[in-house]
Amino acid sequence: MNTYPPFQGRGFGYGPAMRVHEQLGNTPLQWATFALVLLIVLTLGALIVARLAGGGRHRRRFKMHRRGVDPLDVLRVRFASGQITRDEFLQAAHDLAPEAPTEPS
């Protein structure tokens, strides 16, 4: 019986065709690119989570000030609802605007 295969090195057994897999390792440039892409994806994910978790509250406050809510209107509402006394209203109105009314309207 013949123990040696007739086509050794032509894809049958351990020949040059099997050595192709030895060259399939990742290069350092590929690993660096992968790490950079992974870092960018994780950073964007963290920003999105932070924006959805708590960023909305600060944005709403900023828009409220930007729209031009008058501090005297807020003061009048607080006085009308009983949150502050008349003296506190007069003092705050005087502090906010020198030409503020002396009596609440």
| Residue-range definition of the domain harbouring residue 43 | 27-68
- Distance of alpha carbon 75 from alpha carbon 93, whole angstroms: 8
- Please report which confidence band the pLDDT of residue 96 belongs to, taking 50, 70 and 90 as the band edges: confident
Q: Other CB atoms closer than 10 Å to residue 90's CB: what's the count?
A: 17
**Does residue 56 form part of some domain?**
yes
Number of domains the chain is built from:
2
- Please report which confidence band the pLDDT of residue 27 belongs to, taking 50, 70 and 90 as the band edges: confident
Query: Tens of pLDDT along 59-71?
Result: 555 555 556 788 8
Overall average pLDDT of the 39-43 stretch: 97
Pair 35, 61 in one domain: yes
> Are 15 and 9 spatial neighbours (Cβ–Cβ below 8 Å)?
yes
pTM of the model: 0.35
29 beta partners: none
**Does residue 55 form part of some domain?**
yes
**Does residue 4 form part of some domain?**
no
**Does residue 61 form part of some domain?**
yes
Pair 61, 74 in one domain: no
pLDDT for the residue numbered 34? 94
- Distance of alpha carbon 53 from alpha carbon 43, whole angstroms: 15
